[in-house]
Amino acid sequence: MASETIASQSADLYTNFTRFIGEKQLLQKEDKVLLAISGGIDSMAMLALFGRSPYKYIIAHCNFSLRGEDADQDQALVEKEAKRLKIKCLTKCFDTQSYASTHKLSIQMAARELRYNWLEQVRKQEGCSHIATAHHLDDAIETMLINLVRGTGIAGLQGIPVQNQHIIRPLLFASRHEIEDFVRQTIIPYREDASNQETKYLRNKIRHHILPVLSEINPSLATTMGGFFEKMRAASTFYDLWIEQVKKKCVKEMGNETHIILKPLLQQQHPDTLMYEFLKHAGFSSATCHDIFKNHQLQTGKSFSSATHQLLKDRGKLILRKTEQKTPDTKHYLINKDAKVLELDQVKLSFEITSKKTMNPLPSSSYIMVADMKKLQFPLLLRPWTRGDKMIPLGMKGYKKVSDMLTDLKIPRHKKKDIMVLESAGRIAWLVGLRIDERFKVSDQSSELFVITRQPDKGL
């Protein structure tokens, strides 16, 4: 009778396992799965469940070289079980301490990074559709509590996602207690990691001190939290839809920049929350976003920075751009009469000599400079503009500072450094892509013309 009960409970877990995979559409029957097996109770249970399933799978094991002989015995167990099952098993030993030191990471973060990077590499090499990890419902509860303690939004209240790109978690339906019962009843070999008992880690403190109290208050905690996570995922879907709708009104993608328009943003409910949603991908914290929102009326030119991006206050908007962009080309370039094309990081120019008769009427675009050939002295010099540069804009009689012209033209502050000028014998003939100098214009006496076209898609 006892054996029948064990078989029934074992069958229940397997039934729920296959049902969960089907309901969440995690796998198709033709898929090949890479199982991340540590040798611990959870992953060995997952291995046993996949062993009963129709899915094709192979095993991957990470040895982080952190627990000496214990780590080697974990690896030996996984290899032994793979051999018994006649399943391909790949293993990898990491120098986690060295990696953590070199990349300035905690041991936990270093191990996580090494693990997932290698698993993805193996997945591609072995032609697997997915990587399966053995996270379960209690792991999700612990993660949610950690997020809650640290401060989180809706996303952090969802626990652990069932699927994240190629990574699936087919045990998220099961509690730790259910998995432990299954392993004991079916006599599955596993190894216990002694570090799981240490309470110096936040997760273990929650596992050993907080969850038992919560379970005492609510004996059906796992079931209750499973339902809660489903509600949070649904709420997150509606929240994301709202964000996307508002984003269409407030955010414009302009090449390699993102412009956040302040007027429609400030008309929304909770604009500070929206500001964070628009900027969090760029590494700005919620606290920083609150400061940015609080100071949105600061003068033009005020900037905020994250590790990867800069946010610049401009007229009625905030401009977000990456800080790892290529630096503007600061070299000087000589241009001879026979030049055809000059292509730099920030500008592409094409050159042509033609007659006045063939170019009638003259182009009016500021992207094209048409100059009297006789008024130019070669070689011409292309260089970045500098403070103190002056020219006589077309149609004017007196000099004007380039810096004042850029202000009048409302060139954003962060783009001014990319502007270049073209000189002839020390005189500025063209503020490239913006203004031609009066002294080099085509007149009734002109015959031969020098034409320079700046490709607008390269943008200055």
User: What pLDDT is attached to residue 142?
Assistant: 94
Query: How does DSSP classify residue 5?
Result: H
Please tell me the predicted confidence (pLDDT) of residue 273: 87
Separation of alpha carbons 216 and 226, rounded Å: 17
Q: Return the residue matching tokens 């964000």.
A: 243
| DSSP annotation string for 198-242 | -TTSHHHHIIIIIHHHHHHH-TTHHHHHHHHHHHHHHHHHHHHHH
pLDDT digits (tens, 9 = 90+) for 3-38: 444 455 566 899 999 999 999 999 998 999 999 999
- For residues 103 and 49, which has the higher predicted lDDT (pLDDT)? 49
Kindly state the tokens that stand for 377: 């002295």
Q: What is the pLDDT of residue 457?
A: 46
- Which residues share a beta bridge with 422? 382, 430
pLDDT exceeds cutoff 80 at 360: no
Tell me which of 74 and 342 has the higher pLDDT: 74
Kindly state the average pLDDT of the residues 128-146: 95
Give the pLDDT score at 454: 87
User: For 247-291, where are the E strands, in sequence order?
Assistant: 251-254, 257-261
- Which one is the CATH code of 2-231: 3.30.465.10, 3.40.50.620, 3.40.50.10610, 3.40.50.300? 3.40.50.620
Cβ-in-10-Å burial (0-12, 13-18, 19+) of 68 comes to exposed
CA 190 to chain centre: 37
* CATH architecture for segment(s) 333-458: 3-Layer(bba) Sandwich (3.50)
Residue 107 pLDDT? 87
Tokens of 340: 């055809």
pLDDT at 266 over 50: yes
Structure tokens at 196: 């799981």
- Give 378's pLDDT tier (boundaries 50, 70, 90): confident
Q: Which pLDDT band, with edges at 50, 70 and 90, does 63 fall under?
A: very high
Contacts 24+ apart (CB under 8 A), 303-306: 306/282
Cα–Cα distances in angstroms (integers) from residue 349 to residues 131, 192, 238, 359, 360, in the given order: 49, 67, 49, 19, 21
Which pLDDT score is estimated for 292? 75
Where are the chain's structural domains? 2-231, 255-322, 333-458
Q: What percent of the chain has pLDDT over 90?
A: 57
The residues facing 319 across adjacent strands are 259, 312
Residue 270 to residue 272: CA distance in whole angstroms: 5
AA letter at 407 = T
88: left (phi over 0), alpha (psi -120 to 50) or beta: beta
**What b/e readout covers 296-320, taking b as 16+ CB neighbours within 10 angstroms?**
beeeeebebebeebbbbbbeebbbb
Judge contact between 420 and 430, C-beta under 8 A. no
Q: What is the per-residue pLDDT across 401-440, written as a single tens digit (0 to 9) for each?
A: 999 999 889 888 778 888 999 999 889 999 999 999 999 9
Q: How far is 247 from 258, CA to CA, in rounded Å? A: 11
Integer Cα distance of 133 and 87 in angstroms:
17
pLDDT at res. 388: 86
Written as six digits, the tokens of 176 are 């730790």
Tokens 């929650």 -> residue: 206
Least confident of 49-53, 212-216, 297-301: 297-301
Mean pLDDT of the chain: 87
Phi, psi for 84 (deg, rounded to 5): -65, -40
Q: Residue 193 — very low, low, confident or very high, per pLDDT cuts 50/70/90?
A: confident
pLDDT bin (cut points 50, 70, 90) of residue 460 is very low
Task: Quick: pLDDT tens for 296-339.
Answer: 666 666 777 777 888 888 888 889 988 754 444 457 888 888 88
